[in-house]
Copies of this chain bind each other. A is one copy, B any other.
Amino acid sequence: MDVAEEDPTNLPTKRRVRLLNRDDRLFHVILAQQFDRELIDHLCRIAEMTRIIADARAGARFLNTLLSHKRAMLYFIQPSTRTFLSFSAACQVLGMPHNDVRDSSTSSEVKGETEEDTVRVLSQYFDVIIMRHPSEGFAETMANKLNTMRRCIPLINGGSGKDQHPTQAMLDIYTLYRCFSPSLAERIRLDPERNLFDGKTIAFVGDLKRGRTVRSLAYLLTRYPGVRLLFVAPEELQISEDILAHLSRYDIEHELKFDLPEVIGECDAVYMTRVQDEHDKAGESGSIDLSRFSLTRDIESRLKPDLAIMHPLPRRTELDTYYDSDPRAKYWDQMRNGMWMRAALIAHVFNVDGAILDHYFSHYNY
């Protein structure tokens, strides 16, 4: 069954077991579909608490001790500065030493070793592998291999191929949480009945066909009925059918659009993306007119006063630097949110999220 087509709430037991541990806690973090609403809410809250705790020196030191007895391997075969640094900073927040393999040409692979052997060797030295890899499905394949080994450690997918980037999706949804909820108190003591996304309109703009961040975020948003999604892209770069079918199955309202200025006025959040021309076969995207898919200065008057402007970065011209110091610009915050969310996720995987929760409630009177 194709990953994009399956219904995550009905994941066959066998697949669930492969990704969760015995207490139904996340073990391997591979797919956005693994996250149900309760878990998303929980991780957003842990991320929020981690951020507040880290702000005080004593709190930062408490966090620093949580995973000082573990070690992480960042296996980043595909170049990526910001995701790498974000995970690295998240490890540092939790006091977890880490190491990395970033260039497979310096590794033993030149001596003819299979990547499976490489991952297995890494599992001997480290307590978690955070992996970024150019091949779709590689992270999942490796998680399955690890499950058959005597020393089985968790694997976190930091982006695999064109398909999935679940931790990016989690930081995006955490950013939306922060934009849509009026107060810290509400974010911390989130009522399970409250759906922050109800009635909100979110536009995805740009290269929706080849950007994995939009795909992964769409999976997460199916957890929030009442949200309305606009996919704003030129015909050639529109979102793929499998995502639309997935949204329909969950009764998530969605529309295809072909002009940003026309719809920007309805949006509570706009998620800009750049053209991924590194995936072009023959420079075909160079001939596409992108003028209707850019957030330019001249449409500022149409923006809602509390619009959230997002972008996974790096950007090009689709997002005018004019907005950089506008309070509605949330794309810098996204970066920092990513650090806290990844720390929350790692804390959850190692079962120290409870300690963060306890620390928070014993030190802050919300």
Contacts and interface: CB of A to CB of B under 8 A. Distances in A.
Interface of A: 54, 57, 60-61, 64-65, 68-69, 71, 73, 79-82, 85-86, 88-89, 92, 97, 99, 101-103, 106-113, 117-118, 120-122, 124-126, 148-151, 274, 278, 313-316, 325, 332-333, 335-336, 339
Most chain B C-beta atoms within 10 Å of own C-beta, residue among A92, A122, A125: A125
B85 A89 contact: no
20 contacts: A54-B69, A57-B69, A60-B68, A61-B65, A73-B85, A79-B106, A81-B101, A85-B99, A85-B101, A88-B99, A89-B125, A92-B99, A102-B106, A111-B278, A112-B314, A117-B314, A121-B332, A124-B332, A124-B339, A151-B336
B61 A313 contact: no
A47 to B, nearest CB: 14
A15 to B, nearest CB: 22
Given A64-B69, A69-B61, A339-B125, A314 B113 contact: yes
A335 B124 contact: yes
Q: How many copies are assembled?
A: 3
A148 B68 contact: no
A314 B60 CA distance: 39
Contact of A86 (B88, B113, B125): B125
A68 B112 CA distance: 37
Nearest to A122: B85
A310 to B, nearest CB: 14
Given A113-B315, A124-B336, A80 B68 contact: no
Nearest to A63: B69
B117 A313 contact: yes
Contacts of A73: 85
Contact of A148 (B110, B121, B325): B325
A97 B64 CA distance: 11
A262 to B, nearest CB: 27
A61 B68 contact: yes
Contacts of A325: 148-150
A79 B110 contact: yes
Nearest to A116: B321
B85 A120 contact: no
B64 A121 contact: no
Closest 5 CB pairs of A and B: A60-B69, A113-B314, A124-B335, A81-B107, A124-B336
B79 A112 contact: no
A150 B329 CA distance: 11
Given A81-B107, A92-B97, A111-B314, 6 more contacts: A61-B65, A82-B108, A88-B125, A113-B313, A124-B336, A150-B325
A88 B124 CA distance: 13
A313 B111 CA distance: 10
B79 A107 contact: yes
Contact of A81 (B86, B106, B316): B106
A108 B71 contact: no
Contacts of A92: 71, 97, 99
Nearest to A88: B99
